[in-house]
């Protein structure tokens, strides 16, 4: 159901009397001294800074809200966890406990899911590059494979012949839903007829059977209507396939791309206003589905939500190391966390909170990381009061993509902890050291110095 937004109200900031005789001073309002009841300073004292912190309570609550939004509107839904979003074992295990299957886009992620105990028949295998041996394993273990290219269809067919068994396969399609840029590099294009050519290729093989359609439009999709267009086109194509080629489409995988309450750069409205609620997405998706399906037909609806579930469960604690006045007049703060571990800083302006009340007028500031590179900027404009050295900044939401896209560059990657639903802190990934970095290196004898 579409949410009716009230007219926004702008409250004046109360800064006290604006003259030098006043005893009042501006106090920065975004203060966070704890995460899920655990003091920030206590976390840093035990696990160091920078430090990633995940909230199990928030993660479970967010997933349950998503599940409720869809399952109360459609009777056959499967949530499959997007491993590329965050493949820390503890995070994946929580979502698998909640009932999610696994969605992977590489043999590496496939192996991670299997090592966690997820059987092959609960894995969705996507992605544009699937080595033949990885496909063989997925076929033998009953994984759901969504083919991306004609070459991949040929590989699956060859494996099926070798095994002497017919293999069910889905295909990934791309289409015009009004979203730009269109992700046309993945799968088979619908409008050009390429997707139907893929169907014909499967129909011509005695070893392949088409049973599903997959589409992933893009990332951080802020327009719910795009999913409505996607679903209607997928259903229409599914019935075209069934009527003309005799295949039964058992599932419609609409991918992910749902946004979190993060602030995308270039969008100046707060995320509470700019980002629609999940209920609006669910309403549009399921309404379009139910209106397009034939009576009594309820194919499985698969949703690969990643960022929108985990992002707001993640925080990064970082510490002010130094300050300087920049030539353009802005205040510069050097932090102990940079884009090496916070890769999504290139796309988002995170919420910035400090661990203590700080008095003083806010001024335009730049948050730099510790790297010896000019692009190491966490935030190029944040209004902050004068922060003394040692102040902790808490950045959020950072739960999506940072611990999968981070780099071992110049500095070691830090500890990651999970605060469970009882408030207990668990170390779920240890900070790196020199042994971790050099373990795979080999130094030829003639180059040894000692």
| One domain for residues 291 and 316 | no
Among residues 259, 289, 305, which one ends one of the domains?
Answer: 305
Does the pLDDT of residue 169 top 90, yes or no?
yes
β 314-325/51-55 pair status? antiparallel
CA distance 89 to 81: 12
| One domain for residues 326 and 420 | yes
- CB-neighbour burial class of residue 264 (10 A; exposed 0-12, middle 13-18, buried 19+): middle
| One domain for residues 269 and 373 | no
Does the pLDDT of residue 290 top 90, yes or no?
yes
Tokens (6 digits) for 415: 């500890």
SS3 400: coil
| One domain for residues 288 and 337 | no
Does the pLDDT of residue 218 top 80, yes or no?
yes
CB neighbour list of residue 414: distance below 8 Å, 6 or more residues apart:
48, 49, 50, 51, 52, 337, 341, 431
Instruction: Identify the CATH number of the domain in which residue 324 sits.
Output: 2.40.37.10
Q: What's the pLDDT band for 21 if we cut at 50, 70, 90? A: very low
CA distance 306 to 259: 9
The candidate with the shortest Cα–Cα distance to 79, out of 90, 91, 89, 68, is: 68
Does the pLDDT of residue 361 top 80, yes or no?
yes
Model confidence pLDDT, tens digit, residues 410-423: 999 999 999 999 99
Structural domain includes residue 27: no
CA distance 254 to 417: 32
User: What is the Cα gyration radius of the chain?
Assistant: 25
| One domain for residues 401 and 300 | no
Among residues 257, 281, 305, which one ends one of the domains?
Answer: 305
Do 226 and 185 touch, CB atoms closer than 8 A?
Answer: no
| One domain for residues 172 and 230 | yes
CA angle 307, 309, 315 (to 5 degrees): 75
| One domain for residues 325 and 273 | no
Structural domain includes residue 165: yes
DSSP tag of 392: E
Does the pLDDT of residue 187 top 60, yes or no?
yes
| One domain for residues 292 and 325 | no
CB neighbour list of residue 325: distance below 8 Å, 6 or more residues apart:
331, 332
Residue 383's alpha-carbon distances to 16, 263, 330, in angstroms, are 18, 16, 10
Model confidence pLDDT, tens digit, residues 230-248: 999 999 999 999 999 999 9
pLDDT value at residue 26: 59
Q: What is the DSSP string of 316-344?
A: EEEEEEEEEE-TTS-EEEEES--TTT-GG
Cβ count within 10 A of residue 271:
19
Does the pLDDT of residue 10 top 50, yes or no?
no
Does the pLDDT of residue 16 top 50, yes or no?
no
Q: What's the pLDDT band for 179 if we cut at 50, 70, 90? A: confident
Place of tokens 């439009």: 217
Structural domain includes residue 65: no
The candidate with the shortest Cα–Cα distance to 222, out of 171, 180, 174, is: 180
Q: What is the DSSP string of 26-76?
A: -B-S-B--EETTEEHHHHHHHH-SSEEEEEHHHHHHHHHHHHHHHHTT-S-
Instruction: Identify the CATH number of the domain in which residue 169 sits.
Output: 3.20.20.10
Does the pLDDT of residue 19 top 80, yes or no?
no
SS3 206: coil
Q: For the chain, what is the domain count?
A: 2
Question: What percentage of the chain has pLDDT greater than the value 70?
Answer: 94
Owning domain of residue 291: 87-305
CA distance 31 to 40: 11
Query: In what helix (H) or strand (E) does residue 198 lie, and over which residues does it extend?
Result: helix 194-203
The candidate with the shortest Cα–Cα distance to 308, out of 222, 226, 183, is: 222
| One domain for residues 203 and 257 | yes
pLDDT value at residue 27: 60
CA distance 187 to 327: 49
| One domain for residues 329 and 288 | no
Model confidence pLDDT, tens digit, residues 24-73: 445 677 999 999 999 999 999 999 999 999 999 999 999 999 999 999 99
Does the pLDDT of residue 8 top 70, yes or no?
no
| One domain for residues 318 and 276 | no
Among residues 285, 305, 325, which one ends one of the domains?
Answer: 305
CB neighbour list of residue 222: distance below 8 Å, 6 or more residues apart:
259, 264, 274, 275, 276
| One domain for residues 179 and 291 | yes
| Mean pLDDT value across the chain | 93
């Amino acid at each position: 159901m579409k949410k009716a937004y009230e007219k926004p109200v702008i409250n004046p900031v109360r800064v006290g009397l604006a003259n030098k005789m006043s005893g009042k001073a501006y106090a920065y309002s975004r203060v966070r001294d704890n995460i899920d009841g655990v003091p920030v300073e206590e976390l840093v004292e035990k696990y160091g800074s920078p430090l990633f912190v995940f909230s199990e309570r928030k993660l479970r609550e967010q997933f349950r809200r998503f599940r409720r939004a869809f399952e109360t509107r459609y009777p056959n839904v499967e949530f499959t966890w997007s491993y590329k979003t965050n493949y820390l074992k503890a995070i994946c295990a929580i979502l698998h406990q909640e009932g999610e299957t696994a969605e992977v886009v590489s043999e590496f992620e496939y192996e991670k899911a299997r090592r966690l105990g997820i059987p092959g028949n609960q894995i969705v295998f996507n992605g544009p590059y699937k080595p033949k041996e990885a496909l063989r394993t997925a076929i033998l273990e009953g994984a759901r494979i969504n083919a991306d290219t004609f070459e991949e269809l040929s590989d699956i067919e060859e494996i099926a012949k070798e095994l002497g068994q017919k293999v069910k396969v889905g295909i990934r399609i791309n289409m015009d839903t009004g979203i730009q840029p269109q992700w046309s590099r993945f799968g088979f294009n619908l409008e050009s007829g390429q997707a139907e050519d893929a169907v014909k290729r499967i129909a011509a093989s005695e070893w392949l059977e088409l049973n599903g359609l997959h589409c992933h439009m893009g990332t951080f999709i802020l327009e719910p209507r795009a999913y409505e267009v996607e679903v209607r086109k997928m259903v229409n194509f599914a019935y075209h396939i069934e009527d003309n080629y005799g295949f039964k489409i058992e599932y419609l995988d609409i991918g992910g791309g749902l946004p979190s309450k993060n602030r995308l750069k270039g969008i100046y409205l707060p995320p509470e206003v700019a980002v629609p609620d999940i209920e609006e997405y669910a309403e549009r998706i399921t309404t379009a589905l139910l209106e397009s399906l034939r009576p009594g037909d309820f194919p499985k609806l698969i949703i690969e939500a990643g960022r929108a579930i985990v992002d707001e469960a993640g925080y990064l604690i970082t510490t002010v190391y130094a300050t300087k006045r920049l030539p353009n007049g802005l205040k510069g703060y050097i932090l102990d966390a940079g884009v090496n571990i916070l890769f999504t800083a290139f796309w988002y302006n995170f919420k910035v909170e400090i661990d203590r009340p700080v008095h003083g007028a806010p001024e335009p500031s730049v948050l730099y990381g510790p790297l010896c590179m000019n692009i190491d900027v966490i935030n190029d404009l944040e209004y902050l009061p004068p922060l003394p050295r040692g102040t902790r900044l808490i950045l959020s939401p950072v739960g999506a993509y940072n611990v999968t896209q981070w780099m071992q560059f110049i500095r070691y990657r830090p500890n990651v902890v999970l605060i469970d639903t009882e408030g207990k802190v668990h170390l779920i990934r240890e900070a790196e050291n020199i042994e971790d970095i050099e373990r795979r290196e080999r130094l030829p004898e003639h180059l040894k110095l000692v």
